[in-house]
Amino acid sequence: MALCTRVLSKCSSFSSNFLKLRSSVAKAPLNRSLYSSKQLLDRFFTEQHEWIDVNGEIGTVGVTDYAQSALGDVVYAQLPSPDQAFEQMEECGALESVKAASELFCPVTGNVIEKNENVEETPGLINQSPNEKGWLFKIQLTKPEELEDLLDEAAYQNYLKSNE
């Protein structure tokens, strides 16, 4: 019986503290910057229209919506294979469309750890979903400081405007 009384006492104390915390959180001002898209905070761009999303030491690389639109219907994707190493801005693959062919450049130095085989099988994924399903490859960064050489979202948008 004494054990039950102590447990109930602890539970009611916890419940009371939880309610206080909950009401103070509800009154706190909403900081929108804390809720902004992680993707936008960690996405970098090249002037050749590749993007890289970085999560720790791993980057996922793709081409921008602008690039896929300029290329037109992508019909072939030559992607780098896992275990290949590249230097920053080294040519690492190619895309071909009904309009043109375009080289891919590696945005950072690193080792490819995975390629999107779905894109090789169905290159049109690049046109349908360049920022999600149409990603090209993943790379383990060996020089993360090179991200400083890339453009953030705002700088990339300004770059596009200045080159129209």
Could you tell me which residues come within 8 angstroms of residue 106 by beta carbon, excluding any fewer than 6 positions away? Answer: 61, 80, 86, 87, 88, 89, 90, 91, 92, 139
pTM to 2 decimals? 0.75
Kindly give the parts of the chain with pLDDT less than 50.
Answer: 1-41
How far is 43 from 153, CA to CA, in rounded Å? 7
pLDDT for residue 128: 97
pLDDT for residue 164: 78
Taking the domains of the chain in order of start, what are their residue ranges? 2-30, 35-162
How far is 104 from 112, CA to CA, in rounded Å? 14
Give per-residue pLDDT as tens, 46-60.
999 999 999 999 999
CATH (residue range 35-162):
2.40.50.100
pLDDT for residue 36: 33
pLDDT for residue 47: 96
pLDDT for residue 156: 96
pLDDT for residue 74: 97
How far is 136 from 151, CA to CA, in rounded Å? 19
